[in-house]
Amino acid sequence: MDANTYDVIVIGAGPVGENVADRVVQGGLSAAVVERELVGGECSYWACMPTKALLRSAAALRAARQVPGAREAVTGGLDVAAVLRRRDSFSSHWEDDGQASWLSSAGIALYRGQGRISSDKVVEVTGEDGAMRSLTARHAVVIATGSAALLPDIPGLRAATPWSSREAAAATSVPARLAVIGGGVVASEMAAVFSGLGSSVTVLARDGVLPLAEPFAGERVTESLREAGVRVLLGAEAGSVQRGGDGVVRITLTSGEQVEADELLVAIGRTPNTREIGLDIVGLAPGAWLTVDDTLRVVGDDGELLADGWLYAAGDVNRRVLLTHQGKYQARAVGDVIVARAKGEAIEDSPWGRHVATADERAVPQVVFTEPEIASVGLTAAAAGAAGLRIRVVDYDLGAVAGSALHADGFAGHARMVVDEDRKVVVGFTLVGPDVAELLHAATIAIVGEVPLDRLWHAVPAFPTISEVWLRLLEAYGR
């Protein structure tokens, strides 16, 4: 066998690329992954893991302070150095030996370097030393190159050396003043992190806070950031930026107001890592988000299959859902469908079939780890309405549930269930409150399983848990 030929070649060893390769090997094919930075990708070193580690200590402290008896035992504030050390450990100290040896134990070949498609099913890998080697795929090439932070064209911004989410997640010290451009998930979580660590934070949220969530979620997070001392400027747009000789960043808003900070974080969205991967070979423009068909094969703008169907794209790079768990779900579908096609097996591509990622459109769970946490899945009321569904929205005060009051004094929260009235099933669910993240999976199961409300009535929540909100919502609906 030619040492440079594999059944499947995956470009990018983030969480998605790793999982595609693993699934392929478990299906009996051979796989190689190409990685130019760290095996484990953005999620392990600069995104999910470090940010959640940074948020967790403040959340634990808050939880202790909300329960008498525990509260009295808390005699100090956060130990910032210990928080940063714990983050370092959850980021594996930015070393990937652990994940690289997992690849090897899973029977996956790793090539370090920049991967680029150079012709049909051929990927060129350029190592750090400039050495190049060609890998050939028998069946498929999978692009799992992920995304990077987007920097807008604001005059002076680049020269002011702003932080992206990477610098924020890996920060070794806490700036006295931090300004944040953006109001989405990353901006909100980072504002909570740095405010908790002692920075004086200003958020410039042109489009509001968490604009894609149910409105009450963004409102509650805005309120709580403000209660924590964060300046949240809704509708504020940065017009220009300048870092002075004194190191201070001055952001002039389009309103004329000026905001000063020691560091500036830009968190306004992502751009695909597709600039240097040889997209021109298959007739696509470098730098584009990739569009895929049901089984995640790359298609052109007209929806026509490209590259005779040997090219797939999974994870952030196809822009379907920019979340690790959803990318890994796509990875399982891609790995399995490549194996099925290679073996001439039937393709299960009807909705909810094994080879398609149906949940990407109907049931994406997401947690925003702010205080309070926002946990949501499926459609918001606005999105369901826009999709033409005949819906009924049921709201309940989460703080009024017995389990919530026991969980923490002063527990404040809210729950919303969006019901498709024609099918009598839940299509959307949002929870806002402390520690609600772990409640989310029940809602995901209800939506994916399309469990009729009549049957959901028989799923009795244990007393006294916060999950009793399910019973209260069904009663409010009219059971």
* CB of 22 vs ligand FAD, minimal distance in Å: 13
How far apart are CB 321 and ligand FAD at their closest, in Å? 8
Closer residue to ligand FAD in complex, CB, 29/364: 364
Gap between the Cα atoms of 391 and 385, Å rounded: 7
| Smallest separation, CB 423 to ligand FAD (Å) | 28
- Tokens describing residue 231: 């300046």
Give yes or no for a contact between 84 and 172, defined as CB atoms under 8 angstroms apart.
Answer: yes
H or E element in which residue 450 lies: none
Q: For ligand FAD, which is the closer residue by CB, 327 or 401?
A: 327
Query: Which residues here bind ligand FAD, judged by CB under 6 A?
Result: 11-17, 34-37, 41-43, 47-48, 51-52, 114-115, 144-147, 165, 169, 186, 273, 276-277, 315-317, 322-325, 327
End-to-end CA distance of the chain: 65
Please state the closest distance from residue 182 (CB atom) to ligand FAD, in A.
11
Q: Which two tokens stand for residue 400?
A: 């009024």
Distance from C-alpha of 234 to C-alpha of 257, rounded to nearest angstrom: 13
Shorter beta-carbon distance to ligand FAD: residue 203 or 469: 203
Alpha-carbon distance 47 to 167, whole Å?
A: 10
As measured in angstroms, the least distance from the Cβ of 343 to ligand FAD is: 26
d(CA 445, CA 378) in angstroms, rounded, equals 11
- Kindly state the helix (H) or strand (E) to which residue 377 belongs, with its residue range: strand 373-378
Q: How far is the CB of 73 from ligand FAD (least distance, A)?
A: 29
Q: Pick the closer one to ligand FAD by CB: 110 or 391.
A: 110
Nearer to ligand FAD, 25 or 48 (CB): 48
Between 2 and 128, CB nearer to ligand FAD = 128
Query: What DSSP designation does 37 have?
Result: S
- Residue 433's nearest CA partner among 462, 393, 473, 405 is 405
**CB closer to ligand FAD, 13 vs 419:** 13
CB of 393 to ligand FAD, least distance (A): 26
DSSP letter (8 states) at residue 460: P
Work out the burial of residue 212: count CB atoms within 10 Å of its CB; fewer than 13 is exposed, 13-18 middle, 19 or more buried.
middle
Within 10 angstroms of residue 464's Cβ, the number of other Cβ atoms is: 14
